[in-house]
Amino acid sequence: MMRKAVCPGSFDPITNGHLDIIERASQLYDELIVAVLVNPEKAGKFDVDTRMAMIRESTSHLSGVTVDSFHGLLVHYCRDHGVEVIVKGLRAISDFEYEVQMAQMNRGLSGIETVFMPTGPEHGHLSSSLIKAVAHFGGNVAHLVPPPVLQRLHPREED
């Protein structure tokens, strides 16, 4: 049986921590959709098309990985796309409480299961917000994000 999973998030932008989860989850499922939430209430740094482009470029080496966006409830997206499993990365205990609430709500709404995957310890401190803040003030984030993100965070002077 084909097993289809979704890895949802804001991905503003994708980090090496996200990529670690996507790479490992892609080994476990036949198809993995990386789904970017379209949130009209939160503009973010990058628009959704740019976030999707950065994810596509960063995951082009992975087979079975596709990139999409969604509005509204994640469980409705899963129902409409035949997705059986939600995959979420957990960095630290601080992620746990909210993630468990969401997993329980999603399962209660639809029966869909959430699978948690621990982030690699080298990525445990990463968040898109922290990376944007460091990059904004000229800090080096080259080891924290995939190259397609780095080039957009620090466009060349002549661009």
Which residue numbers are catalytic? 18, 42, 91, 128
Stretch that binds ligand PNS, among 3-11, 56-64, 118-126, 148-156 (CB under 6 A): 3-11
Report how far residue 137's alpha carbon sits from residue 98's, in angstroms, rounded to the nearest whole number.
30
| SS3 assignment, position 113 | strand
DSSP 121: G
- Closest contact distance (angstroms) between CB of 131 and ligand PNS is 13
- Closest contact distance (angstroms) between CB of 10 and ligand PNS is 4
Which residues ranging from 83 to 142 are in contact with ligand PNS (CB under 6 A)? 102, 105-106
Residue whose structure tokens are 């917000």? 129
**What is each CA distance from 110 to 34, 77, 84, 106, in whole angstroms?**
20, 11, 10, 6
Q: Is 8 in the site for ligand PNS (CB under 6 A)?
A: yes
Taking 3-state DSSP, the helix, strand and coil percentages for the chain, each rounded to the nearest 5, stand at 40, 20, 40
Binding ligand PNS by CB under 6 A: which of 28, 73, 133, 142? 73
If the CB atoms of residues 56 and 63 are measured against ligand PNS, the closer one turns out to be 56
If the CB atoms of residues 34 and 153 are measured against ligand PNS, the closer one turns out to be 34
- Residues in the chain, overall count: 159
Report how far residue 82's alpha carbon sits from residue 146's, in angstroms, rounded to the nearest whole number.
29
Binding footprint of ligand PNS, residue count (CB under 6 A):
9
Mark residues 15-54: x for contact with ligand PNS by CB under 6 A, - for none.
----------------------x-----------------
